[in-house]
A and B are shown apart, each in its own frame.
Chain A
Amino acid sequence: MLGILRQRAVDGGLSTSFLRKTRSALVSARSYAAGAKEMTVRDALNSAIDEEMSADPKVFVMGEEVGQYQGAYKITKGLLEKYGPERVYDTPITEAGFTGIGVGAAYAGLKPVVEFMTFNFSMQAIDHIINSAAKSNYMSAGQINVPIVFRGPNGAAAGVGAQHSQCYAAWYASVPGLKVLAPYSAEDARGLLKAAIRDPDPVVFLENELLYGESFPISEEALDSSFCLPIGKAKIEREGKDVTITTFSKMVGFALKAAEKLAEDGISAEVINLRSIRPLDRATINASVRKTSRLVTVEEGFPQHGVCAEICASVVEESFSYLDAPVERIAGADVPMPYAANLERLALPQVEDIVRAAKRACYRSK
């Protein structure tokens, strides 16, 4: 209940102190229209693909198990039955081949939505993502654009080990010519995936397996089939004035929990959900840091050369004189993902890590 309250609170932009005083189900219900809907991220993604396929006959889905199996993670459930085998294609386990075919189809004007069962497998096809898709519009001076979406779960799941847990946000976001998106909530999932499918450029769409089953409130506006979120704009999930916390995907939930804990200690944290890793919304990040003077960047992926490093550099370059403390980075451990549950927990950022870093930035700890 409180979890839902927090979600509703941040969406409505309520302040922390108001929350403390009026923590009741009745008030939270009054903040939104009666019977506010909830949606899982899975359903959000499914509905987004469904609506875009319905609206544009050029959109088609391909990937391993997307059709008859209903999707390895059920994201494409029901699409084969609804649209038939000419719109939903089950591929063999040959990423290099089917990704190249998807990119070629996009060259010729179709709008493929290519699923990687996880982004770990995208490495088998990465030449096509980078050299065949990302760079084509530039190399051809605009003759060959590539309206393709590469989507699938990214980052750590639970106990899947080193080869199935890597986050590719930093890898793909470093490439000019790609757009890289990372939704958090159901609204993010719908709005960003619809925008990605409609976009005439190649988009890498990084989902998170552990978020698929999570429910989020969703507005009527977000349920509309024309709903779209802008690419390149971050969302301020929670306003604050003492420290800025930037992150994306599953870590947004952790950052929000950390903000709650920090509020109990009198630290007001502003949580920014990046939504878009490339283009990175430097303007929103810097405006926030100029307000709070302190920054904690969080990501799940490997720390070296990561998204956090880019954000840190950007803030140091553009808002140096506003910083009252060194930038703090919370990222995955600098190790391949171990299997044992306790080690895995140590290898990933936890809420307490974010809290500790924020307190350090506020000079409230050793």
Chain B
Amino acid sequence: MALSRLSSRSNSFLKPVTTALPYAIRRHVSTDTSPITIETAVPFTPHQCEAPSRSVETSSEEILSFFRDMARMRRMEIAADSLYKAKLIRGFCHLYDGQEALAVGMEAAITKKDAIITSYRDHCTFIGRGGKLVDAFSELMGRKTGCSHGKGGSMHFYKKDASFYGGHGIVGAQIPLGCGIAFAQKYNKDEAVTFAMYGDGAANQGQLFEALNIAALWDLPAILVCENNHYGMGTATWRSAKSPAYFKRGDYVPGLKVDGMDALAVKQACKFAKEHALKNGPFILEMDTYRYHGHSMSDPGSTYRTRDEVSGVRQVRDPIERVRKLLLSHDIATEKELKDMEKEIRKEVDDAVAQAKESPVPDASELFTNMYVKDCGVESFGADRKELKVTLA
């Protein structure tokens, strides 16, 4: 990887001093926002467009924030795994560990005015949009302090103030919805874009092509992001798609295939796509990524892929390890500092879990709230309508 440092400090001078000094002084370097340029390991593959440069502008601060945010997301998902096995999380739980680079890379390229909508594998996207760990865990455990007050569950996290529109359980539905949000952004002249995220399984959905057709006709600032983790539940891409080149599926719509385990590549691609979408309408990003867990907590993830495959990806392509290597090789942080950071994050996550465990379940009256914005005296009923009947106020 090529590196050009604009700082005039010499590497060797810094080393002996920094190992002796406390973390507070070391911080100076790790919050350094002076630009660093990193080359992506894998080139972009374009469709109907020119690929962006492999040289990504970043900074020490940004790379460190990638590490921190991805480590936090990773720990959150692992904690969710334990909570599910302890039966504190019920129903469906779709984990994102392995795919963290997508969430953090995208956030680095966009603002909170840009919108994101995704599928049911939404925990890390929620955190990326600024959602709090305790709100996520509370929601997963069905508590009233959850981000959806316990009414949504794992698949239905939202954060409207950060333009995060959920959290959708029906495969593919989020794609037309995302194009609709982009429609509104264009209608309102927001100068913002919408990223509609979906998997390789959803990539075959008819409504994707219906929405893409309209988005192209009406020049909507919509970016379709295929998170290709190579398995639609238990079905590998080669068994579900005649053409698994998802970035080309848009035909007349330009696309880009991206190494989705490289946070910097993701950032570059999203930045490129946003610039395109604001001027020329829809764009497709195919992010080559991988999920370590099965499709959901009900799926061991080992009946349709070998353990060697999973561990192989973890060894060679893990997004957090890649960033760790980057931080070490560029002297942005030491191994100990990163380990300490991970310990802090682990504690942060454990504290959030503990806090969430203490929160109360929703009041019984919440069964009937938020049905409508304008209730107009509607009646609603419980299972025994003579026992439980409510007039929505």
Q: Which residues of A contact B (CB under 8 A)?
A: 60, 86, 89, 91-92, 94, 96-110, 127-128, 131-132, 136-145, 147, 176-177, 179, 199-201, 230-232, 279, 282, 317
Contact B165–A107 (Cβ < 8 Å):
yes
| Alpha-carbon distance between A106 and B187 when the two chains are bound, in angstroms | 12
Which A residues lie within 8 Å of B168 (CB)? Answer: 132
| Alpha-carbon distance between A253 and B4 when the two chains are bound, in angstroms | 81
Contact A110–B371 (Cβ < 8 Å):
no
Q: Which residues of B contact A (CB under 8 A)?
A: 115, 117, 148-152, 156, 158-160, 165-170, 173, 175-185, 187-188, 206-207, 209-211, 213-214, 217-218, 369-374, 376-380, 385-386
| Alpha-carbon distance between A104 and B371 when the two chains are bound, in angstroms | 18
Contact A100–B372 (Cβ < 8 Å):
no
Which B residues lie within 8 Å of A138 (CB)? Answer: 151, 370-371
Contact A144–B176 (Cβ < 8 Å):
no
Across the interface, name the chain A residue whose C-beta is closest to B206.
A96
Contact A230–B376 (Cβ < 8 Å):
yes
Known contacts A177-B372, A279-B376; is A144 also within 8 Å of B181 by CB? no
Which A residues lie within 8 Å of B379 (CB)? Answer: 279, 282
Across the interface, name the chain A residue whose C-beta is closest to B185.
A108
Across the interface, name the chain A residue whose C-beta is closest to B210.
A97
Which B residues lie within 8 Å of A101 (CB)? Answer: 176-177, 179-180, 183, 211, 214
Q: Which 6 A-B pairs have the closest CB atoms?
A: A104-B180, A100-B176, A97-B210, A108-B184, A141-B149, A94-B210
Contact B371–A176 (Cβ < 8 Å):
yes
Which B residues lie within 8 Å of A145 (CB)? Answer: 373
Contact B177–A141 (Cβ < 8 Å):
no
Contact A137–B373 (Cβ < 8 Å):
yes
Known contacts A92-B210, A177-B371, A200-B373; is A139 also within 8 Å of B184 by CB? no
| Alpha-carbon distance between A104 and B174 when the two chains are bound, in angstroms | 8
Across the interface, name the chain A residue whose C-beta is closest to B163.
A108
Across the interface, name the chain A residue whose C-beta is closest to B183.
A105
Across the interface, name the chain A residue whose C-beta is closest to B217.
A92
Contact A131–B169 (Cβ < 8 Å):
yes
Contact A99–B176 (Cβ < 8 Å):
yes
Across the interface, name the chain B residue whose C-beta is closest to A314.
B385
| Alpha-carbon distance between A61 and B215 when the two chains are bound, in angstroms | 17
Q: Shortest distance in angstroms between A19's beta carbon and chain B's nearest beta carbon?
A: 34
Contact A127–B187 (Cβ < 8 Å):
no
| Alpha-carbon distance between A94 and B169 when the two chains are bound, in angstroms | 21
Which B residues lie within 8 Å of A317 (CB)? Answer: 385-386
17 A–B contacts, CB within 8 A, in A order: A92-B213, A94-B214, A97-B210, A97-B213, A98-B210, A100-B173, A103-B176, A104-B178, A105-B181, A107-B177, A110-B184, A137-B370, A138-B370, A139-B152, A201-B373, A232-B378, A279-B378
